[in-house]
Amino acid sequence: MAAVQTTSERALNKVAIVGVLIATIIFLAPIYWIVSTSFKPRNLATTIPPTVLFEPEISPFVKLVLRRSQLREQPSPEEYAAAPWWERLVFDGGEKVVRDGQGNVQLSGYPSRFVNSLIVAIVSTVLAVGMGTITAYGFSRFKVKGEQDWLFFILSTRMLPPVVVAIPMFLMYRAVGLNDTHLGLIILYTAFNLSFSVWLMKGFIDEIPREYEEAALVDGYTRMEAFFKVVLPEAATGIAATAVFCFITAWNEYAFALIMTRRTAQTAPPFIPSQVGSGLPDWTVIASGTFLFLLPVAIFTFLLRNHLLRGMSFGAIRK
């Protein structure tokens, strides 16, 4: 009987391993496709059947950061030879680099949109996590009248999808002059992430024994000193985990960025799909922009991976 059970367990383990491998392939296949397409020549991006083996090139990334237009006349051999290497890559794709009246190269809108995404995501994450931590500490350590009602009200701000409130927010922002501004997006993303931050941080702070603070108060610390020198270091794991989730939400947000911005404060998500080549969408440029857009989130999550793994269990709400 024991041998039968052992055989069954081995079979279940093999099935589980196969299931994990299949799920991994399913989840990683789109990422592989984006990365591979970003290094493909344009004529291989939409081939049927798909081209798997190819010679990688960086021309999609060059085109991503440069403003281009359709090439009406082929450059002469002398002009082609005198052009910089990155301009020759654009020539090879049947396009030319746009220059101003002084001959300076014009950049595309992607670099500025990428910087806008960094500014908005970082500032809104810092504000949401900071205010969420202070609010969660108040709910965790003090008796607040109607605490459960307040917590439910805070959570209710996440119950509606963003697109439902996009039009009212657009009208209000237009009335106060916050349309197409960094401040407007920062306020919006901070408010949207704040409820998540409060609920997640409350779970983390509830796990920190009150005795730590009581001992600090006995030693002469003020309540504020105890919060900064005792609670915050103990909650660092939870803060890191909350920051990762808030940053990912703000970084990937599309609907508000599309409706609330046009040029000055527009972030990368609504800009990337607008990249077109000569007459048709240039999927290699779109893929390269998507690949670069994935890097900050991947790097940020990788750097905080240890805190994130510990935080998933440290902040668990226990009954």
* C-beta atoms surrounding 13 within 10 Å: 10
CB contact at 8 A, 296 and 251: yes
Q: What pLDDT was estimated at residue 314?
A: 53
What average pLDDT score do residues 58-68 get?
A: 89
Q: Stretch 171-198: mean pLDDT, rounded?
A: 92
Q: What is each CA distance from 28 to 198, 294, 311, in whole angstroms?
A: 32, 13, 24
- Reported as a single tens digit per residue, the pLDDT across 256-311 is 998 899 889 999 998 887 765 545 678 888 899 999 999 999 998 888 877 776 65
Contact by Cβ (8 Å): 243, 190: no
Hey, where are the domains in the chain?
2-37, 67-97, 110-312
Superfamily of domain 110-312: MetI-like (1.10.3720.10)
The predicted-structure confidence for 236-269, as pLDDT tens digits, reads as follows 888 998 999 999 999 999 989 988 998 899 999 9
